[in-house]
Structure 1
Amino acid sequence: MTFSICVRETYDDEVGTEQTRFGVAVTTRLPAVGALCPFASENGVVATQSLVNVELGEKGIDYLDDGLAIEDALQALLNADEGREQRQLHGVGLDGTFAFSGAECQGWFGHRVGEHYTVAGNLLTGEEVIDAAADAYESGNRDDPLAVRLIETLEAGHEAGGDKREDLTVQSAALVVTTTEDQAPTPYYNDLRVDATRTPISDLYETYETAREGYEAAIAKYQNEQNSEA
């Protein structure tokens, strides 16, 4: 599983209340990475990759929802996992970050921990991939939607070399963004997957734009209908 990013940000909602949002995004030279790697709730995000153990992501989020700190939650899961040296596991919670790359992951592999974010990858062309991804996130425009900035992060890593398995042309990408803010209805353009394509980053961005357009059109339609009935 090539590379992924997990982030936490704070922001003020429309009435000035501080909220927290989380984001996770991933791309790889295999199909359907969105079914295996990214996990999220309003309490944090987790990515599990390399020799994937989906249970690490599922239980990791369950532990965060139960109030555990992310370091305690993910380390406890790794301690119980006999295959941990073949895993990469990283994430961000309400009060910390965690990143682990097992010694038996396939190279190039590694991770980077920044302020409220983590980036990790394996089977990459080199360390420059996660550095480019991290730098792109750090320099991104915070006025842009987090989903867009996550896609830009994946694009930067991809352009820096990305997954080294160039003989595998069927690729995928996914992103999930959550927030502590009560949003009704939840913007479904913040939970997207491109499962099988040769152009995962551009397709994920196009999917985001199309989903956002459809969401906004639906909201406008039902608001107009409610106003006409009033």
Structure 2
Amino acid sequence: MTFSICVRERYTDEDGDDQVRYGVAVTTRLPGVGTLCPFASSDGAVATQSLVNVELGRKGIEYLGDGLAVDDALEALLNADDEKPQRQLHGVDADGTFAFSGDECRDWYGHVAGENYTVAGNLLTGEDVVDDTAAAYESDAHGDAPLAERLIDALAAGHAAGGDKREDLEVQSAALIVRNTEEDVDDPYYSDLRVDASETPVVDLRETYETAKRGYEAALEKYADEMDGGGETDEE
């Protein structure tokens, strides 16, 4: 019912320290996917789908925080799951990747794993969906655009390739999450976004991202003096 992408990117912060950012993005022909599938923290990113088990995502992120490698963490969770043949689970951490598609997932289903990313999907029009999602990310993996924007580009490529094959289901959804390892940094509000019910979820996720980014930047500009002086900027 879904296709999604998890990524890991290394970068250098303003102090010259090495950092890692993680991102996950997903879309499906059902509402509310952002509550079910994508999970991310400063330790990694995980997506759970097909016959969804939310605990696989929640516990996967928890296990990464406890220091387990992503392949050990997610394989252990699957091995304890009686419905493993119907699950899809994939993700990344600081050092590795993991991708699994049970043999009882519904066609077309499958996954790909690159050096720093994983893509998986089920109930798709074909293999091109995951391949084009991966190719779109790879083509701009080191681009200047924020990761959230590039994740939306990857979803758009998969959607253009056919996406979820259930065209009779008009109400759809999409979501993205980006996290990083930096401490004491103000994460932009537009790095955790959801479109819960829409007939054009990827288009609407992009519009939501662009609007949120514009609003965040306007707030930074308006309250620049307070921020420089150490004052609070939250006026809610």
With the shorter chain as reference, the TM-score category is over 0.9
User: What does residue 118 of structure 2 align with?
Assistant: 118
Could you tell me how far apart the structure 1 residues matched to 2:226 and 2:89 are? 47
- State the shift of 1:227 in Å: 5.9
User: What does residue 234 of structure 2 align with?
Assistant: none
Could you tell me how far apart the structure 2 residues matched to 1:229 and 1:143 are? 29
Q: Is the counterpart of residue 150 in structure 1 residue 130 in structure 2?
A: no
Normalising by the residue count of structure 1, what TM-score does the alignment of the two structures yield? 0.96
- State the shift of 1:184 in Å: 3.4
Could you tell me how far apart the structure 2 residues matched to 1:58 and 1:219 are? 32
Could you tell me how far apart the structure 2 residues matched to 1:89 and 1:227 are? 43
Indicate the larger mover: 133-142 or 62-71. Answer: 133-142
- State the shift of 1:181 in Å: 1.5
| Cα-Cα RMSD | 1.5
Aligned letter for 1:206? E
Could you tell me how far apart the structure 1 residues matched to 2:226 and 2:10 are? 34
Q: Aligned pair count?
A: 230
- State the shift of 1:58 in Å: 0.2
User: What does residue 187 of structure 2 align with?
Assistant: 186
Gap change, CA 1:218 and 1:72, over 3 Å in 2: same
Could you tell me how far apart the structure 1 residues matched to 2:219 and 2:42 are? 24
- State the shift of 1:228 in Å: 8.5
Equivalent residue runs for 1:25-174 within 5 Å: 25-140=25-140, 142-174=143-175
Gap change, CA 1:33 and 1:228, over 3 Å in 2: closer
SS of residue paired to 1:74: helix
Indicate the larger mover: 215-224 or 115-124. Answer: 215-224
Could you tell me how far apart the structure 1 residues matched to 2:5 and 2:227 are? 40
Gap change, CA 1:215 and 1:229, over 3 Å in 2: closer
User: What does residue 213 of structure 1 align with?
Assistant: 214
Q: Is the counterpart of residue 203 in structure 1 residue 204 in structure 2?
A: yes
Could you tell me how far apart the structure 1 residues matched to 2:76 and 2:97 are? 14
Query: Percent identity among equivalent residues?
Result: 69
Could you tell me how far apart the structure 1 residues matched to 2:184 and 2:146 are? 15
Could you tell me how far apart the structure 2 residues matched to 1:37 and 1:50 are? 9
Gaps of 5+ in 2: 232-236
Could you tell me how far apart the structure 1 residues matched to 2:188 and 2:39 are? 17
Gap change, CA 1:225 and 1:135, over 3 Å in 2: same
Indicate the larger mover: 136-145 or 156-165. Answer: 136-145
Could you tell me how far apart the structure 1 residues matched to 2:27 and 2:227 are? 41
Normalising by the residue count of structure 2, what TM-score does the alignment of the two structures yield? 0.94
Could you tell me how far apart the structure 2 residues matched to 1:5 and 1:20 are? 17
